[in-house]
Amino acid sequence: MKKAFLLALGLCFIAAPALAFHDHGVAHCNGCHTMHNSQDGVLVDPDSPNGNPWLLKDGTPSDVCLDCHAIHLGAVFANDVLDPSPMKGAGNFIFLLEDNLNDGHNGGAVDSTGAWTHAIPGDAAGHNLNAPGHGLAPDATLTTSPGGSFPASQMGCTSCHDPHGTQDFRMLYGAGRVVQGGIATFANAAPTAEGISIYAGEESPTYHTAYQGGMSAWCGNCHGDFHANGTKLIHPSGVAMGATIANTYDLYNGTADQQGGTHATAYLPEVPFEDAANGVSTTTGPSATSQVSCITCHRAHASSGPDSGRWDFNVTFLSDDGVNSGSYAIPDPYGNVNQRSLCNKCHNKDAHDANPN
Ligand code: HEC
Ligand code: HEC
Ligand code: HEC
Ligand code: HEC
Ligand code: HEC
Ligand code: HEC
């Protein structure tokens, strides 16, 4: 029996590229499931002597995923709040364990006992996960997805990624897909994009997720009217940038060089836009039809800025990030102590700006 099983496993690996597991389809079932919670007479999940719902190998769906992905294969959870793993695109859930993310005014204030008085807690770092085996819990502040109604209590890896694989970018759910046994049914398609390797390398201006389209509508599966352009007075997402803003993006090369950029080298992975022409090594700036997107300002998993910001929205100078709170400082792409908010990449309301827009 054991021999036959190993043979089947071997064949499965011969057909797949080295180290592949999901291979954009369903991986071998017992990578995640256990039928009897027993192998060689030992409990597969010692924490759950009576087994788990869904017959999983660990307590919750997210714990199962993190058993492989926490510090390897994208390392989406890392080990250390101050030393996250290399950025791949989605960002790191480790920041959910922070005690304070507030680097704005009074962010570092403490009372006579030394306790923070103006802390923004780690649950604001991004999407919280129901994964007690890794010290994570549902969001303590938000009970549903703002703009929509997805229950925060159920949030986990398999709220967004299909554990049984899809042909789409990063195995994300697409239109019509039923999530977690019926909590939600997605209305909008998975985004079109191309990711970088989860094995090696990290995000840089010449190697980054190529966001091609559909991300705003995809986030809208759970965030509903946050994506309601035109009907609410909110920042547009999933709409064309227009020639004026595209030109500002091209020229803006940081606080110290607001007009010196060029179209050929303007792409900034910290402030991405969606365009069907984007590739993982694209360095060119946007065209008038490139779209501003949720992912322009947010990371999909979490960041060390409040609201999963790609940069800290609460600081005047990026060099203030991490100073009050002691949280991880998101690297400043321009490496300038006077660098201001990256909103300026598209709007240039920077210090002494000469741009008419
Ligand atoms: C990458 C991990 C993973 C692999 C591999 C995997 N599953 Fe699952 N499976 C899950 C998780 C997690 C759930 C719990 C539901 C959820 O979170 O979406 C689940 C739920 C299920 C369910 C119950 C809910 C449903 O969707 O019907 C069945 C049945 C199931 N899996 C069968 C299989 C079979 C058969 C295989 C192999 C062909 C397999 N799974 C491979 C992770 C996995
Ligand atoms: C047994 C280890 C293992 C488990 C458990 C596991 N994965 Fe993976 N995962 C891998 C490997 C290996 C790869 C890279 C090869 C591949 O894509 O098949 C990968 C790749 C991925 C990718 C990137 C796919 C791409 O297209 O680039 C995502 C997303 C992912 N896993 C999500 C999950 C989620 C969600 C779960 C939990 C339901 C999970 N994984 C559980 C081993 C695992
Ligand atoms: C499966 C549903 C789902 C999808 C898809 C989803 N979200 Fe969320 N989001 C939630 C829920 C639920 C919360 C509130 C609970 C939490 O933060 O964990 C939330 C919270 C947030 C927050 C606030 C975090 C905080 O605590 O302040 C931001 C920002 C956010 N989402 C952005 C996005 C973006 C950007 C996308 C697309 C890349 C996206 N979301 C896709 C369900 C979703
Ligand atoms: C709110 C939706 C959401 C949740 C929850 C979520 N992911 Fe993701 N994940 C994404 C999106 C979107 C991307 C692509 C992001 C990009 O490239 O900017 C992604 C990318 C990834 C990648 C590729 C590497 C990277 O960092 O970009 C891996 C691996 C992955 N997710 C695994 C997981 C695991 C494991 C969990 C749970 C611990 C999880 N995801 C929870 C939406 C989600
Ligand atoms: C131009 C940058 C930008 C874009 C684009 C953007 N956001 Fe935000 N988002 C922010 C900022 C800044 C905040 C902080 C709160 C605020 O300013 O309203 C935030 C806050 C949030 C929150 C937390 C709200 C709360 O009540 O805690 C969610 C959820 C969110 N955004 C989701 C989205 C989604 C989904 C999209 C795409 C449809 C999106 N954002 C597009 C910048 C942006
Ligand atoms: C990728 C480019 C991009 C980024 C980055 C960006 N925006 Fe925008 N913003 C736009 C576009 C496109 C519009 C719509 C402008 C129009 O229709 O004229 C807009 C509109 C606005 C408006 C409304 C202007 C008006 O005339 O009514 C405000 C305010 C604004 N953005 C603030 C911000 C802030 C604050 C940030 C950073 C948190 C930010 N934006 C980041 C592209 C961007």
**What would the pLDDT profile of 52-62 be if each residue is shown by its tens digit?**
889 999 999 99
Cα–ligand 5 centroid distance for 18 (angstroms): 39
Q: How far apart are CA 304 and CA 285, in angstroms?
A: 26
CA 86 to each of CA 83, 153, 194: distance values in angstroms, whole numbers, following the listed order: 9, 29, 18
Cα–ligand 6 centroid distance for 319 (angstroms): 23
CB 258 within 8 A of CB 354: yes
Q: Assign residue 234 a region (left: φ > 0; alpha: ψ between -120 and 50; beta: otherwise).
A: beta
What per-residue confidence (pLDDT) applies to 9? 39
Identify which ligand lies nearest to the alpha carbon of 238.
5
What per-residue confidence (pLDDT) applies to 181? 86
**What would the pLDDT profile of 13-37 be if each residue is shown by its tens digit?**
333 344 577 866 667 898 999 999 9
Tokens of residue 167, six digits? 């042909």
Q: How far apart are CA 35 and CA 31, in angstroms?
A: 11
The upper half-sphere exposure of residue 10, i.e. CA atoms within 13 Å in the direction of its Cβ, equals 6
With 80 as the cut, is the pLDDT of residue 44 above it?
yes
Tokens of residue 222, six digits? 């759970």
> Which residue in this structure is represented by tokens 């011969």?
14
What per-residue confidence (pLDDT) applies to 351? 75
With 90 as the cut, is the pLDDT of residue 357 above it?
no
Average pLDDT score, the chain:
91
Cα–ligand 6 centroid distance for 339 (angstroms): 19
Cα–ligand 3 centroid distance for 127 (angstroms): 5
CA 122 to each of CA 138, 158, 160: distance values in angstroms, whole numbers, following the listed order: 11, 21, 21
Q: Residue with the nearest Cα to atom 36 of ligand 5?
A: 294
Going by pLDDT thresholds of 50, 70 and 90, the confidence category of residue 231 is: confident
Identify which ligand lies nearest to the alpha carbon of 23.
2
> Which residue in this structure is represented by tokens 């201001």?
340
Burial of 118 (0-12, 13-18, 19+ CB in 10 A): middle
Percent of the chain with pLDDT over 90: 83
Ligand 5 contact via 226 beta carbon (within 6 Å)? yes
**What would the pLDDT profile of 101-154 be if each residue is shown by its tens digit?**
999 999 999 999 999 999 999 999 999 999 999 999 999 999 999 999 999 999
What per-residue confidence (pLDDT) applies to 353? 62
What per-residue confidence (pLDDT) applies to 7? 37
